[in-house]
Structure 1
Amino acid sequence: MLGGISIWQLLIVLGIIILIFGTKKLRNVGTDLGGAVKGFKKAMSEEEKGEQDEKSGAESEAQARVDHKEAPNTYDVQAERKPEEQEERK
């Protein structure tokens, strides 16, 4: 992957970068880069969690529809007395 670059060449380049930018600046860049990677991972995990919540919500809604279809029919009726019973009470 690195081709013909040896470890010594990488160390020399790293030393030059440290001399140019300084350790404090590199530390800040590293901290910012680490925070960006952490934020990206957190956003990805929240998105996956949201997708799982949507799937489970859709599955439970579908299951509720199936359960409703399997339940026996119920009727909401008001009980009324027979006309003969109503006349007797008057």
Structure 2
Amino acid sequence: MSSQQEPVPSDVQSLSYEAARDELVRVVGELEQGSATLERSLALWERGEALAARCEEWLVGARARLDAARAASTGEGTPDAPTDQDGAAR
């Protein structure tokens, strides 16, 4: 999927992580079949891009919440503190 950031459509923006992930799996499956028309394939690709961006938003937000909770519970570092490979604050 592309690295160019475009706005996520409002219908995708309202999806939970699980709903966006499940639809993304369906979209990828349909694209992998290779039986769609070019126009349909492009529409699926664009939808997949939006769904992947939504999933990433959820995951980034979840990571920030976990980092903040870890920092608050240990009294060490800040949510933006660097972490080691295990995700522990350094």
Q: TM-score, normalised by structure 1?
A: 0.41
Rg comparison, structure with higher value: 1
Q: Which has the higher contact order (CA 8 A, sep 6+)?
A: 2
Q: TM-score, normalised by structure 2?
A: 0.41
Greater share of helix? 1
